Amino acid sequence: MRYRNFPMVPRVVFGNGSFLQLGEILMPKRKNSEAPFIFFIDDVFDGQPLITEVPLLFNDQIIFISSEEEPKTEQVDALVAKIKESFPVLPSGIIGIGGGTLLDLAKAVALMLTNDGSAAAYQGWDLVKKPAIYHVGIPTISGTGAEVSRTTVLMGPEKKLGINSDHTPFDQVLLDPKLTQGVPKEQWFFTGMDCYIHCIESLNGTYLNAFSQSYGEKALELCHEVYLKDISKEDSRDKLMMASWHGGMSIAYSQVGIAHAMSYGLSYLLGVKHGIGNCLVFQYLEEFYPEGVKVFKQMQEKHQIKLPTGICAHLSEEQFDIMINVSFGLVPLWENALGDNWKEIMTYDRLLQLFKKI
Interface contacts to ligand NAD, rule CB under 6 A: 42, 44, 67, 70-71, 98-102, 104, 140-141, 143-146, 149, 151-153, 179-180, 182-183, 187, 191, 194, 274-275
Residue 145's binding partner, choosing from Zn ion, ligand NAD, none, with beta-carbon cut-off 5 to 8 A by kind? Answer: ligand NAD
Rounded to the nearest whole angstrom, what is the least distance from the CB of residue 197 to ligand NAD in the complex? 10
Q: Which of 202, 214, 315, 217 lies closest to 254 in space, CA to CA?
A: 202
From the CB of residue 182, how many other CB atoms can be counted at a distance below 10 Å? Answer: 12
Residue 182's binding partner, choosing from Zn ion, ligand NAD, none, with beta-carbon cut-off 5 to 8 A by kind? Answer: ligand NAD
Rounded to the nearest whole angstrom, what is the least distance from the CB of residue 263 to Zn ion in the complex? 8
Cα–Cα distances in angstroms (integers) from residue 224 to residues 147, 298, 303, in the given order: 21, 10, 13
Quick one: how far is CA 142 from the chain centroid? Answer: 10
Residue 36's binding partner, choosing from ligand NAD, Zn ion, none, with beta-carbon cut-off 5 to 8 A by kind? Answer: none
Residue 327's binding partner, choosing from ligand NAD, Zn ion, none, with beta-carbon cut-off 5 to 8 A by kind? Answer: none
Cα–Cα distances in angstroms (integers) from residue 203 to residues 136, 222, 249, 257, in the given order: 29, 15, 12, 10
Rounded to the nearest whole angstrom, what is the least distance from the CB of residue 339 to ligand NAD in the complex? 24
**Chain residue at closest Cβ approach to Zn ion:** 194
- The answer to whether residue 70 forms part of the interface with Zn ion (CB under 5 A) is no
- The answer to whether residue 147 forms part of the interface with Zn ion (CB under 5 A) is no
Q: Which one, 147 or 335, has the nearer CB to ligand NAD?
A: 147
Rounded to the nearest whole angstrom, what is the least distance from the CB of residue 142 to ligand NAD in the complex? 8
Q: Specify the amino acid at residue 262.
A: M
d(CA 37, CA 337): 41
Edge-to-edge strands of the sheet including 124-125? Answer: 124-125, 160-164, 153-155
From the CB of residue 316, how many other CB atoms can be counted at a distance below 10 Å? Answer: 8
**Per-position x/- string for 169-198, each x denoting binding to Zn ion as judged by CB under 5 A, each - no binding:** -------------------------x----
d(CA 140, CA 182): 9
Residue 277's binding partner, choosing from ligand NAD, Zn ion, none, with beta-carbon cut-off 5 to 8 A by kind? Answer: none
Rounded to the nearest whole angstrom, what is the least distance from the CB of residue 278 to ligand NAD in the complex? 9
Q: What is the largest CA-CA distance in the chain?
A: 60
Q: Which one, 271 or 339, has the nearer CB to ligand NAD?
A: 271
**Chain residue at closest Cβ approach to ligand NAD:** 100
Residue 151's binding partner, choosing from Zn ion, ligand NAD, none, with beta-carbon cut-off 5 to 8 A by kind? Answer: ligand NAD
Q: Which one, 147 or 194, has the nearer CB to Zn ion?
A: 194
> Sign of the C-alpha dihedral, residues 130, 133, 252, 68?
negative
Residue 70's binding partner, choosing from Zn ion, ligand NAD, none, with beta-carbon cut-off 5 to 8 A by kind? Answer: ligand NAD
Q: 93-98 and 124-125: which strand pairing?
A: unpaired
Backbone torsions φ then ψ of 190, nearest 5 degrees: -65, -45
Backbone torsions φ then ψ of 13, nearest 5 degrees: -115, 140
Q: Which one, 35 or 219, has the nearer CB to ligand NAD?
A: 219
The three-state secondary structure class of 16 is coil
Rounded to the nearest whole angstrom, what is the least distance from the CB of residue 20 to ligand NAD in the complex? 16
> Sign of the C-alpha dihedral, residues 127, 162, 199, 175?
positive
By CB under 5 A, name the binding residues for Zn ion: 194
